[in-house]
A = this chain, B = another copy of it.
Amino acid sequence: MRIGIFGTGAVGRTLGSRFIELGHEVRLGSRTADNEAATEWAGQAGERASHGTFADAASFGQVLVNATSGSASVDAIGSAAPTDLEGKVLIDVANPLDFSKGFPPTLSIKDTDSLAETIQRAFPQLRVVKSLNTMSADVMVRPSQLDGGHNVFVSGDDADAKATVRSLLVEIGWPADDIVDLGDLSSARGAEMFLPLWLRLMTAQGSAAFNIKVVR
């Protein structure tokens, strides 16, 4: 499958490398076609890896991933040609974190809205699925590194799009039983508002190598 990733930060590169490992073709997109991190990544990640602008990534991908910072997401996706978004699944792994007042960040969107819903409203031709935003990049792509089962959430309005994301999560290494469907896209509010607790847990533990498990 061809996967286009918006964003060349640690999350975009880590997900990109994992998808390459799994046999997919990946193009990382950034504001400029000669982004240094993306150029270095594509040089190391092998022949199925490429990079370009946000528009190039959108045009390339059959499935798209939003791994930009939340404040930049709508602009990044908006620089794609609208026809290159048509009907595509976009996995939104970003969080609307606002670091303008330091650490811990606050949320620029919350409570009665979410970044995922904001993207879906701005680009109705996409099928947005929120997932993977509740953990570090390293845990996203290597869930088995933690000691015991733990969960990843999916939120979205389109059942087929959620099924596509679920398949990719299983490919990445997530046991199907650990993938929890939270409901429609408005449930992304819950997944995004978990971040303040995640950040406090990271600080308390001094490590981002953790996740949560729903215990019944």
Contact = CB atoms under 8 A, between A and B. Distances in A.
Interface string A188-203: 0111011011111101
A47 to B, nearest CB: 36
Interface residues of A, number: 39
Contacts of A194: 193-194, 197
Contacts of A216: 146-147, 205, 207, 209-210
B182 A190 contact: no
A211 interface: yes
Nearest to A139: B215
Residue among A147, A197, A213 with the highest chain B CB neighbour number at 10 A: A197
A106 B191 CA distance: 14
Nearest to A180: B204
Interface stretch (A7-15, A24-32, A61-69, A107-115): A107-115
Contact of A110 (B110, B191, B205, B209): B110
A175 interface: no
Nearest to A101: B112
A149 interface: yes
A213 B213 CA distance: 5
B213 A215 contact: yes
A190 B200 contact: yes
Contacts of A189: 196
Residue among A110, A146, A209 with the highest chain B CB neighbour number at 10 A: A110
Interface of A: 106-107, 110-112, 146-150, 153, 180-183, 187, 189-191, 193-194, 196-201, 203-205, 207, 209-216
7 cross-chain pairs, A with B, having the tightest CB-CB distances, nearest first: A190-B197, A190-B196, A190-B200, A150-B215, A187-B200, A212-B212, A213-B213
